[in-house]
Amino acid sequence: MVSTRNGCVSALLLALLLFIPTGCTTAPAPSPTYCSPSDHEVAPATTAWLREKAIPLADNSARDWQDLGPLKQMIGEARIVALGEATHGTREFFDAKRRLLQFLVEQMGFNTFAIEANGPEADRINAYLQTGQGDPAQLLAALQVWPWNTREVLEMIEWMRAHNRQAGDGTTLTFRGFDMQLPRAAMDDLVRYMQQVDPSNNQTESALACYRQFQDATFGYATVDPATQQKCREGLERVYAELQRQRAAYEQESSPEEYQRALRAARLTLQAEERYRTMANRDLRDAFMAENLTWILDNGGPQAKVILWAHNTHVDAALPMTKSMGTYLRERFGREYLSMGFAFYRGSFNAMEFDSAKNRYGAVAIQQAALPPANSHESYFHAVGLPRFLLDLRELESEENAETVWMTGPHPFRSIGAVYDPSRPLDYCYDARLPEEFDLIVYFDETSPSELLSK
């Protein structure tokens, strides 16, 4: 459950957060176990069905699309394909998502990539994709999201730039972010924009000044007195209202596209303020991410098709513990939203260390995952005997019988975010009804850590 003390959060729900501020010295209270482990034996009939339906995947280094051919029919007319991950630090997940992105771009015309990171910082990577100006490694580090600062993501960005360079008059890729957790860059962009379009207006910086105090200490904002919070909020609201009021004039001084980015930056600051003021509302961040993803799609025009990169708990279309971004997107877009969960049986990954006994966060380090419970979805996937595969869970809708009924029930499923305490492995799983939560599953039997560029 959520503890608002110093803005910290319990173990499983840390999967819903990317950023653990260095000033957060009080650790989460011990969380309840969200899954129900047992010594249940894998049912042969269900395993047989899985073996029949599982589509073997080639190694992530494969250069052709033969194994991914069935994806075209699976994805169909979806405009948003959401790629999840069971941890924030697994090489195989990242490399598979890079390969899936290449397939979706080259074979299905997807043209927008959106990642669980702040919008303004992601816009700087997008500028690199369009112009080639800048150092992609520095721009990636400037996202301030350590899980993405990896060799795998950097290589994906470099591939995207190469694609755009060769596109000519064809479709180019854009790179977007849909998170709002770090407001500094959004406020910097607002000040620069207002200086450009309305240099005589010197009210923007003063209106932002109150919330500027918390731009790098966001979790502490929840403990600020209500009068100060109200003052900060009112300042942000004034900037947003002024942008709306002066739309015609500001668009003339810049462009409709620049104006929309500035308006979105103002909205992101309001989202950040509300998110950190109301920490007990754990749905709020996902609601805002869904709002921002919708904005990205709408501003991309009628031909926009988005590849979304985030944790399983965000792309999940029916997460039981809280209302996820994927749930909001499924409500808004229906079957135009396709959710792809990622799972693994054994392996290691990168995560920030957490010692529950000492209530202490440590450094980012390689963690070894405990094996999942015998009655987990991963144990059934392991029994298939394939190193990696793709599974369409929607086939269960028309094939519910004695062989498949187990798959529809709630069973343990792992969910590891940016933080991990190896002494409490059951804190990092929950009882999942996978066919309700994901359309497709990408499974790896064994995994390894992502290659961090810095810690």
Residues 73 and 19 in one domain: yes
Q: Is residue 67 part of a domain?
A: yes
Q: Is residue 428 part of a domain?
A: yes
Beta bridge partners of 81: 307, 338
Picking from 282, 299, 325, the residue at the C-terminal end of a domain is 282
Residues 35 and 93 in one domain: yes
Residues 400 and 325 in one domain: yes
Residue with tokens 């819903």: 16
Q: Give the pairing type, strands 388-392 and 419-420.
A: unpaired
Residues 237 and 318 in one domain: no
Q: Is residue 290 part of a domain?
A: no
Q: Is residue 359 part of a domain?
A: yes
Residue 343 sits in a domain whose CATH number is 3.40.1660.10
Residues 335 and 424 in one domain: yes
Residues 443 and 316 in one domain: yes
Q: Is residue 149 part of a domain?
A: no
pLDDT confidence of residue 37: 74
The token pair at 330 is 């499924």
Residues 328 and 413 in one domain: yes
Residues 273 and 316 in one domain: no
- Number of domains making up the chain: 2
The token pair at 58 is 């080639």
Residue with tokens 């419970």: 373
Picking from 231, 263, 282, the residue at the C-terminal end of a domain is 282
d(CA 436, CA 424): 27
Q: Is residue 371 part of a domain?
A: yes
Who's near 167: CB < 8 A, 6+ residues apart? none
d(CA 302, CA 53): 34
pLDDT confidence of residue 282: 81
Q: Is residue 173 part of a domain?
A: no
Q: List the domain range (segments joined by +) for residue 246.
A: 184-282
> pTM for the complete prediction?
0.91
Residues 51 and 11 in one domain: yes
pLDDT confidence of residue 30: 35
Residues 359 and 234 in one domain: no
Q: pLDDT tens digits for the chain (455 residues)?
A: 233 223 333 445 544 444 443 333 333 333 445 677 777 777 888 999 999 999 999 999 888 999 999 999 999 999 999 999 999 999 999 999 999 999 999 999 999 999 999 999 999 999 999 999 999 999 999 999 999 999 999 999 999 999 999 987 778 999 999 999 999 999 999 999 999 999 988 899 999 999 999 988 788 899 999 999 999 999 999 999 999 999 999 999 999 999 999 999 999 999 999 999 988 788 999 999 999 999 999 999 999 999 999 999 999 999 988 899 999 999 999 999 999 999 999 999 999 998 878 888 899 999 999 999 999 999 999 999 999 999 999 998 876 677 788 888 899 999 999 999 988 988 999 999 999 999 999 999 999 999 999 86
Residues 267 and 343 in one domain: no
pLDDT confidence of residue 455: 62
Residues 93 and 207 in one domain: no
